[in-house]
Structure 1
Amino acid sequence: MPQILFLPDGRTVEASISESILSASLRAGISHTNECRGNARCSTCRVLILNGLEFCCPRNEKEQALAAQLHFAERVRLACQTTILGNVVVRRLILDANDAGLTDQRKDTTTHGSVGEERQMAILFVDIRNSTGFADSVPPFDVIHVLRRFYHHMDKAVIDHGGHVACYTGDGLLALFGVERSKFACLQAVLAGLDMLRCVKEDLQPYVKRLFKRTFRIGIGLHFGQAVVGTLGGGLQERITAIGDAVNIASRVERTNKKAKTEFLVTEAALREVWDYVHVGRSIDVNLPGKTGTYTLHEIVGVQNGAPQTAGRAARS
């Protein structure tokens, strides 16, 4: 009979071809969460198929409906609905009651892969240059006021071009473009970044210089790659975020601006997506901290005449 290796339990269980993964798990005494008692009315029994996906039966109608609602990746399956024809390795994703409370996500408000979904997207980091020096030389209440003004402009630029602010870092933010699978994800990010720079030059720089006699500059880094996108937080605090190597690369690209004396750098992967629409300044070869090999980064200095200017959330593929 086919065998199922359950992780993190480290247990191997035999299963007949008519027995669901959940049934085999419970029969073996594994504490496999199943809030709806195996009726495909919740997502708490789900597993990640690490090996042997080809031996799993196709999704039935019940599982397909829930998978579509929660944006399951191909390898995420409902254990209560999945039978197997060969050996598989699975990881249980819900391990205790706390997990179940957080991740029983069969609800109408789920729109962006709450359970986590791999996706190609444009990842943009923006950071205030020398923010520590600014904070040390300006009264705290004034720092807060300037930051509020800064984030007002940055948020508007992101939203106007179809992006989502994933998190604030104290002196910067992470924004995601392509959560809605836009074919213009990178162009949306570029337009947002250029709007950010314009707002800094037209509003924040003269404002800070007039009040505090200090400069105000930002750096922007953009990468296009695959990341896992999902939601974190609860209730009104729920926010879309992304995790993966692509996010780390975008962060390191942003930091390179300081050394390169640039304002807006993108990776080659991002540039390929917008090549027909942008003006490129310098190109530099760098070693990114924590990464192997050399990365070629490109400075974005503007967009070409005729580039789509309405690449917002209406421009989905």
Structure 2
Amino acid sequence: MSKVYAKKGRWLQWGGGIAIVVALLLDLVGWMPMPFLERLEWQTYDTRVRATLSEEADPSLAIIDIDERSLYEVGQWPWPRTVVAELVEMLFETYDAGLLGVDIVFAEPEGRVLESYWETLVSDYPELEERSPPESGDAVLADTLANYPVVLGHYFQASAAVDDPPPVGALPSPVAVSEGDSLAVPEPERFTSNLPKLQQSAMGGGFFDNPRVDDDGVFRRVPLLQRWEGELYPSLPLAMLMAMIGGPTIDPQVGEGAGVAQLEALDVGGFKIPVDNQGAALVPWYGERGHFAYISAVDVINERVEPEALAGKTLILGASAPGLMDLRSTPVGSVFPGPEVNMTLLAGMLHQSFKAQPPWVAGAELVSLVLLGALMTFLYPRLSAPVLLAVSAGLLGMTLGGNLWAWQQGLVLPLASFAVLLVLQMLWHLALNFLRESQHKRWVAERFGQYVPPKLVDDMVDSGESLGLAGEERELTVLFSDVRGFTAFSESIPPAELTLVMNRLLTPLTGAIHAHDGTIDKYMGDAIMAFWGAPIHDAAHAEHALEGAFAMLEALEDINQIFTQEGKPALAMGVGLNTGPMSVGNMGSSFRMAYTVMGDNVNLGSRLEGLTKAYGVSVLVSESTAQQAPNWCFRKLDKVRVKGRSAPLWVLEPLGKWKALTQSQREWQAAFEQAVALYQAASLSEAQAAFNALEDQQDSPTQLYLQRIAYFQQTPPPADWDGVWTHVDK
């Protein structure tokens, strides 16, 4: 193809590759967000989570579950506070639990309900007037909480509507955070917490809402701190951890990301929790729903649990019953109980198994996208489609492998942007490769289709060679063929039929040449000129030319069978082959051009074809052709000077491929060449005896040599005779 077209195609590939990289960078910096990329990143994150879940659960952690069976046996929720108090008391007194977190809010006082019911009971049973109302369930629960290590839960509301009620209940004491004023944590607009008397009796409290749920509704990241009226409050798992280690001051760890100081982790009494700049941690998922031990609350109340089953354990009281609406969508399950989310976070804190996404990850992603994008943009246009696919697969494998390795080390690196970059770059360059190859094939077909067979055109395209019509010198093998006696043959048929006969003759001969990757140069009446090794390079051009020559002879035999059946005379053909440097290209005038070969070696091929009649053989080749066809067996016929050349050369007849010859044929070839050697050495008597000893006395070259020897016996050659026979005819 033209250099202009190739240059335009290269710029198009570069431009598209650069556009892909720029689009991804604009998404990364937030100037042109692409939501599908964010969702794809979520999906790749979830896939990595599910692929690396742990099989073992921490036996020191368990969930006291308000499940469907508990609601069936105890009654619908909310239960009387005295029942809850009984449950809490039994957990610590009967089962010796270590710590209890409560994933439930007791926001409404129970006392008002009891008082209204008491008045009704007194009116129905006057004897109750002398008795005081029963003790409030809230008071009972508050007294119980004061005796045990219990951390209550509450929830914040990120935004409040105009008609929403004011905050309900009392918040626990805030946590101490060094330099906490600078943290960009969520600041809700409302909260719902426990009754003041309950919260004051408890050991502490923490929120269990999540303002950082992703847009697809999936829990992946949960904030550990939220700010209310300037004070910082911990999440329920963080509050439980602080209760276990004595409520230390939280120390924020700040790192550098994109040249800006950003929150990187929270140090809680030596427990380091990786967080993002808003204080949210990636939930360290351990398993699917039920990974941690679930114990039905009603079994605890009815003492159906083994006494040692809960001894010293850290527990969370919560609900998995669907009707209580404490179910979440997570990467490990679309229906996941909220208490187990909090237990997972607490387990991650205790085992220090969080995944981290430090601030430098964004900068590393930007640099990596630029470098990888530049590599593909400028490398891919130089690759063929198969190599491009292989390189893309390798790069994708390296990206996935490196990402998974980082994941195993606790680092969450982005994956979606790199996967999209690789796929889009691959598809873009493959599409342009396909377009370029289509254009190239059309260009080749337009320029070479008139010279070479369609199969060779396809080979030329597939080879990826830079093809042109300008003249150049190459080593080629040229073939000349001529039908003997065709003039007399043509005189025996009507002139109107001659064109049809010529087509019937040349078509199968041309097919034989094309079948062996030859290029037709020209037709000269009944003669054909062809060559091998151009326009596409062919390292085995000599062998392919020989195969084509023998295929032409076989095709002629088939034609003769048809001609003889039609009453026409059979035809013979001579073929000459020569190998050597030749000038090949589009040659001619401004009126007409032809893709052809020229040079002295071309003329020699024509001379060899002319000599086939003199030696009575069908095919003659030069020594240079024979040297490049080691799989073929040749017999040296004669050392000659041809018209137009002063230097002598050997002419040889191909007998077939070595592997196809019998032992007797090989011995005959050796005996013939021995006889020729005696002749060349001027040992005429010995040569005559050697030729007479050959079994095939009807062999034309043998008869030719016997005639020469008989002549030289009558007229001896000069003393300096070199054994060369000079041909004066073309």
**TM-score class, shorter:** 0.5 to 0.7
Which residue of 238, 249, 258 maps to 2:604? 249
Answer yes or no: is 1:227 the counterpart of 2:582: yes
CA distance in structure 2 between the partners assigned to 1:281 and 1:120 by the alignment: 24
Match of 1:146 in 2: 501
CA contact (8 A) 1:264 1:301 kept: no
CA contact (8 A) 2:636 2:650 kept: no
**1:5-24 mapped onto 2 (5 Å cutoff):** none
CA contact (8 A) 1:113 1:229 kept: no
Match of 1:192 in 2: 548
Match of 2:620 in 1: 265
SS in 2 for 1:212: coil
CA distance in structure 2 between the partners assigned to 1:213 and 1:168 by the alignment: 23
1:250 CA drift (Å): 0.3
Distance 1:204-1:282 versus aligned 2 partners, 3 A rule? farther
1:157 CA drift (Å): 1.3
CA contact (8 A) 1:138 1:212 kept: no
Distance 1:139-1:240 versus aligned 2 partners, 3 A rule? same
1:205 CA drift (Å): 1.5
Which residue of 530, 534, 537 maps to 1:175? 530
Identity of aligned residues (%): 26
Answer yes or no: is 1:206 the counterpart of 2:561: yes
Match of 1:93 in 2: none
Answer yes or no: is 1:293 the counterpart of 2:668: no
CA distance in structure 1 between the partners assigned to 2:472 and 2:481 by the alignment: 24
CA distance in structure 2 between the partners assigned to 1:282 and 1:296 by the alignment: 7
CA contact (8 A) 1:267 1:295 kept: yes
Kindly indicate which of the two structures has a greater share of residues assigned to helix.
2
User: How big is each residue's C-alpha offset from its partner over 1:164-195, in whole Å with a ceiling of 9 and x where there is no partner?
Assistant: 00111111111110012211000010000010
Match of 2:485 in 1: 130
1:133 CA drift (Å): 1.4
Higher relative contact order (CA 8 A, sep 6+): 1
CA contact (8 A) 1:112 1:231 kept: no
1:277 CA drift (Å): 1.1
CA distance in structure 2 between the partners assigned to 1:192 and 1:161 by the alignment: 6
CA distance in structure 2 between the partners assigned to 1:261 and 1:281 by the alignment: 14
Distance 1:273-1:146 versus aligned 2 partners, 3 A rule? same
Which residue of 626, 637, 641 maps to 1:283? 637
Q: Where in structure 1 do 4 or more consecutive aligned residues deviate above 3 Å?
A: 107-113, 232-235
The residue type paired with residue 189 of structure 1 is A
The residue type paired with residue 616 of structure 2 is K
Unaligned runs of 5+ in 1: 1-39, 42-106, 307-317
1:238 CA drift (Å): 5.9
TM-score computed with the length of structure 1 as normaliser: 0.58
1:198 CA drift (Å): 0.8
1:294 CA drift (Å): 2.1
1:108 CA drift (Å): 5.1
CA contact (8 A) 1:153 1:199 kept: yes
Kindly indicate which of the two structures has a greater share of residues assigned to strand.
1
CA contact (8 A) 2:479 2:578 kept: yes
CA distance in structure 1 between the partners assigned to 2:559 and 2:653 by the alignment: 22
1:247 CA drift (Å): 0.8
CA contact (8 A) 2:626 2:634 kept: no
CA distance in structure 2 between the partners assigned to 1:157 and 1:108 by the alignment: 26
CA contact (8 A) 1:124 1:220 kept: yes
Q: Number of residue pairs matched?
A: 201
SS in 1 for 2:508: helix
Larger of the two Rg values belongs to structure = 2
Match of 1:160 in 2: 515
CA contact (8 A) 1:164 1:240 kept: no
1:282 CA drift (Å): 5.1
CA contact (8 A) 1:112 1:229 kept: no
SS in 2 for 1:249: helix
SS in 2 for 1:215: coil
The residue type paired with residue 652 of structure 2 is H
Distance 1:224-1:233 versus aligned 2 partners, 3 A rule? same
CA distance in structure 2 between the partners assigned to 1:195 and 1:224 by the alignment: 19
CA distance in structure 1 between the partners assigned to 2:596 and 2:499 by the alignment: 24
SS in 2 for 1:305: helix
- Superposed CA RMSD in Å reads 2.7
Unaligned runs of 5+ in 2: 5-441, 448-465, 661-730
CA distance in structure 2 between the partners assigned to 1:158 and 1:238 by the alignment: 22
**1:27-38 mapped onto 2 (5 Å cutoff):** none
CA contact (8 A) 1:205 1:215 kept: yes
CA contact (8 A) 1:117 1:230 kept: yes
Distance 1:112-1:262 versus aligned 2 partners, 3 A rule? farther
1:234 CA drift (Å): 9.4
SS in 1 for 2:511: helix
CA contact (8 A) 2:478 2:605 kept: yes
User: How big is each residue's C-alpha offset from its partner over 1:218-274, in whole Å with a ceiling of 9 and x where there is no partner?
Assistant: 110000011110124799x86421011111000000000011100000000100000
CA distance in structure 1 between the partners assigned to 2:467 and 2:613 by the alignment: 34
CA distance in structure 1 between the partners assigned to 2:603 and 2:493 by the alignment: 31
CA contact (8 A) 2:471 2:587 kept: no
Answer yes or no: is 1:217 the counterpart of 2:605: no
